Structures are given as C-alpha cells and as structure tokens.
Amino acid sequence: MSIFRALFLTGFLFFSGQAVSGSESSVFNVTLQQAKHGEARAQWMLGIMYTQGLGVTQDYTEAVKWYRKSAEQGNSQGQWILGVMYQKGQGVAQDYAQAFKWYRLAAKKGIAESQAKLGTLYAQGLGVPQDFKEAAKWYRLAAVQGLSYAQNNLGLIYHNGQGVAQDYKEAVKWYRLAANQGDAESQTKLGIMYSQGLGVSQDYKKAFSWYRKAAEQGNVQGQFVLGSMYAHNQGTKQDLVRAYVWSSLAALGGYADAEKNLEIYIAQMTPQEIQKAKSMTLDCQAKDLNDC
C-alpha cells in the first residue's frame, strides 16, 4: 500500500476525478467528510489511512469499520481488503469464513488479489473445505492478470499435480512468468526445475542463474542451493569461499541445513580462505547482497 503514502507525499489524491492537495491530515479531513456522505471509494480510502496511519493515528478497528461500509456498498477494493483484515485478524477477530466471503465477492468482480487469496484459502482449507481444483481455478484467473504470487502458486499446483494433472512444462511456464517479475520464490522453483530437468532440459548454468537471482533478494533456499552449487562445481566454477558466503547467509536467515554445509566447506578450506569468506559475508550484508 506504499503507493498511497506516495500519493499523499506528492500532495494529490483523486476522488471522482477531483484532485485534493495538502498535508496528510488535510487529505484525511476531506476524505472523512466524503466518507461520511456515503462515498464508497472515500470510505475505502479512509480505511487505508487508518490502516497505514496516514493523517491519523493508526487504528485497525476504525479501518475495518470504514472498509465494511465501503464493502457493503459493493466496492470491490473495500471487499478485498476487508477479507484481508479478517484473514489477518486485524481490527477484528480472525475469521477465515468471513475472509472467504469478502474475497469471493471481490474475486467475482475480477480483483486479482482477491482471486489469489481465494485460491490460497481453497488450497489450505481455511474457511472452506480444501479443494485444489477450485484453488487452481482462482489462481489461474489471477495469474492471467499478471499477479506474480498467483503465477507462482499456479506453477506449484501443476508441479505437484494438485487439482490438475501433473505437468512440469506448465509449472515451468507459470514459474517463469512470476520469476521474470522478480518473484524470488519462483526464481528458486525455476532453479529447481533446471537442476532436475523437470519440464525443461537439465541445465545447471541456468539453474545457477535463477538461484542467484533469488539469493540476491534474500531467499534463504536460493542462498543455500547457490552455496552448494559453488561447492560442487555445478553451473559455475568451484569456489569454496563463495560457497561459504552464501551458506553463511542462508544460516543467518534460519535455513536448517546451512550450518551442516558450512562445517563441510570449512573442513576443506585454508585459514586464509576462511578469513576471506568471513570478510566477504560481512561485506555482502553491508551491500544488501549486491555483487556477492
């Protein structure tokens, strides 16, 4: 929702084609008046302001109140975000059945985020009986709209053959679409497909490339596997220093098996290499994983 803060900071907010300029507090006051007069979009925006603390003290309960008013008038954005509040239990008791209700209303109107959330509720059996076929249906509707989260999850559905016939090529298709949008989880999954030759010809260089993209975004699985590829000369030249670096970063991120791999690498390294690897790890953290 950072887009809303950007709008406030630039001093412009649009309601029904009318521009409103000023500070966050003045925008809040104008929005409040429009919301009180029953303007559904203003009610949704007022909920955003309370959720984010824009021009007013953050208050999830008030946010839910205004989201509900907007949703009950049929505003699809209000319906979607009211579902989010019920799913997270923010400003209201957590209730997956209510989340499902509001997501479904917005999803039927084509809101991609709601379609994807609905897919997740079906996939996990939250607020509705588990149904992978329905999950695939809703993920697909969101995925074709370009939502990377839905593309990744649809890829996983095909990867595992849940609710659809298992199809690695189709999984790769959806993983790639999400990966090309920068989705780190899909980048890792695409690395797996290339490593194992699932749906594509086995290609360690391409696997390495996708794992690296994910690793540089902080994905701990990508970091762990990247370290292993450096250690085992897969897709790149063997480099135990970089194997240490990426495994160390994965371990710091909580990846369970990373510590074990570190012990194996350290046993094969000289004291000078170990010192260099420790220094590189600190440098990588300082640079937010760029050029590691």
Query: Tens digit of pLDDT for each residue in 119-162?
Result: 999 999 999 999 999 999 999 999 999 999 999 999 999 999 99
Residues 135 and 120 sit within 8 Å (Cβ to Cβ): yes
Is residue 280 assigned to a domain?
no
Tell me phi and psi for residue 9, to 5 degrees: -65, -30
* Cβ-contact 139, 115 below 8 angstroms: yes
Q: Which residues pair with 14 in a beta bridge?
A: 19
Q: What is the CATH number of the domain that holds 84?
A: 1.25.40.10
Q: Which two tokens stand for residue 245?
A: 């670096």
pLDDT at 24: 80
Query: Residue 213: helix, strand or coil by DSSP?
Result: helix
The single residue listed with the structure tokens 């992978």 is: 132
The pLDDT of residue 14 is: 47
Q: What is the pLDDT of residue 17?
A: 46
In a domain, 9, yes or no: yes
Residue 156 in any domain: the answer is no
pLDDT above 90 covers a percentage of the chain that reads: 87
For residue 8, pLDDT over 50 is answered with: no
Report if residue 129 sits inside a domain.
Answer: no
Q: 3-class DSSP state for residue 201? A: coil
What is the band of 22 on the pLDDT scale with cuts at 50, 70, 90? low
Task: Answer yes or no: is pLDDT of 15 > 60.
Answer: no
Residue count of the chain:
292
Do residues 7 and 31 lie in contact, with contact meaning Cβ atoms separated by under 8 Å? no
Q: What is the DSSP string of 223-264?
A: HHHHHHHHHTTSSS---HHHHHHHHHHHHHTT-TTHHHHHHH
What sign for the dihedral angle of Cα 69, 88, 215, 221?
negative
Query: Is 181 among the domain residues?
Result: no
* Residue 3: pLDDT band with limits 50, 70, 90: very low
User: Tokens in use for 107?
Assistant: 């999803």
Estimate to the nearest angstrom the gap between the alpha carbon of 247 and the chain centroid.
23
The CA distance from 93 to 242, in Å, is 47
Quote the domain boundaries for residue 12. 1-109
Structure tokens of 187?
A: 């980048």
Please report whether residue 258 resides in a domain. no
Question: Are 281 and 274 contacting, i.e. CB atoms less than 8 angstroms apart?
Answer: no
Average pLDDT (267-289) is 95
Q: Would you place residue 290 in the very low, low, confident or very high pLDDT band (cuts 50, 70, 90)?
A: confident
Partners of residue 143 on adjacent β-strands: none
Q: Is residue 253 part of a domain?
A: no
Total domain count, the chain:
1
What is the sign of the dihedral through the CA atoms of 115, 116, 121 and 127? negative
Closest to 90 (Cα-Cα) out of 101, 103, 81, 100: 81
What pLDDT is stored for residue 174 in this prediction? 98
Tell which residue, 149, 67, 86, has the closest CA to residue 113: 149
Say how far apart CA 152 and CA 190 lie, in whole Å.
10
Supply 102's token pair: 């509001």
> What amino acid is encoded at 8 in this protein?
F
Is 90 exceeded by the pLDDT of residue 244? yes
User: Which amino acid, residue 185?
Assistant: E
Q: What is the mean pLDDT of residues 234-263?
A: 96
Q: Which amino acid belongs to residue 86?
A: Y
User: Is residue 18 in a domain?
Assistant: yes
